[in-house]
């Protein structure tokens, strides 16, 4: 999570300095894939830890 937040700050700096160049857009797509993968992992962790722990 911390890696994603640092990456987000770096992407915001790159956008402000370079604008929407092809390289920056590609990096934004990679960041988007990383962030969505992190969302899926959190849903799986939530399911296993909180919902499966309720079963008898």
Mean pLDDT, to the nearest integer, of 9-27?
93
Mean pLDDT, to the nearest integer, of 17-41?
93
User: How far is residue 16 from each of residues 9, 24, 36, 46, measured CA to CA in Å?
Assistant: 11, 10, 23, 36
pTM reported for the whole predicted model: 0.71
For 24, the domain range is 2-54
Number of domains in the chain: 1
Q: Is the pLDDT of residue 55 over 70?
A: no
């Amino acid at each position: 999570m911390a890696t994603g937040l640092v990456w987000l700050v770096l992407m915001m700096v790159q956008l402000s300095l370079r604008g929407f160049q092809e390289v920056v857009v590609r990096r934004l797509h990679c960041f988007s894939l990383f962030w969505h993968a992190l969302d899926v992992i959190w849903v799986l962790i939530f399911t296993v830890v909180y919902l499966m722990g309720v079963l008898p």
